[in-house]
Structure 1
Amino acid sequence: MRPIIEFCASNIGHGTGPLMNKLEQNPEYDVVEYGCLNNCGECYLQPFAMVDGEIIAADSPEQLEEAIETAIKEQEAWDSLDLD
């Protein structure tokens, strides 16, 4: 399953625009921008995105990129476990 990475247009002031554009270039990700993700507290305080519905926040867009990639790798590890 391809990860869905959601960005809030109101959070672009924290520098998430270039990161969103960069991640859109990766064919393994579905990247979506919404006018609002209804997380105003996060949106106001720091760069954030949602990865498969989970809030990922960081102090800078560069750190956010690392946190997003870590979250995706962790999810892929869980998905690869055979629980049968």
Structure 2
Amino acid sequence: MGIVIVEVCDVNPASALELELLEEDFPGTSVIRTSCLSNCTMCATTPFAYVNGELLVHEERETLWTLIKAQVEQELQAWETDI
């Protein structure tokens, strides 16, 4: 398992993103797709994902993708700084 965890619900619009690319582009990142993240009212309509427990939301999947990548980079940078 990675030091950065990206979680997305299978039925959320964000699940259409190629999140597994994050594992290739950012070593130390793991993508977890799950059947439910307990945000049902938001899940069916609004793209969202968790990055190390922080909820990232945006109406546009492409913008959410950019936000996720930026958060992953920030988390990895903070981890490297703490070593």
TM-score using structure 1 length: 0.74
Q: CA deviation at 1:45?
A: 4.3
Runs of 4+ in 1 over 3 A off after TM superposition: none
Aligned residues: 78
Q: CA deviation at 1:77?
A: 2.4
Retained in 1: the 8 A contact 2:9–2:15? no
Aligned to 2:35: 35
Structure in which a larger fraction of residues adopt helix: 1
Q: CA deviation at 1:2?
A: 3.6
Q: CA deviation at 1:30?
A: 1.2
Aligned to 1:18: 16
1:78 equivalent to 2:74? Answer no
Retained in 2: the 8 A contact 1:3–1:72? yes
Aligned to 1:54: 54
Retained in 1: the 8 A contact 2:4–2:76? no
Distance (whole Å) between structure 1 residues aligned to residue 64 and residue 54 of structure 2 = 13
Instruction: Give the fraction of aligned pairs with identical amino acids, expressed as a percent.
Output: 29
Give the gaps of 5 or more residues in structure 1.
Answer: none
Distance (whole Å) between structure 1 residues aligned to residue 82 and residue 73 of structure 2 = 16
Aligned to 2:10: 9
Retained in 2: the 8 A contact 1:42–1:57? no
Q: CA RMSD in A?
A: 2.1
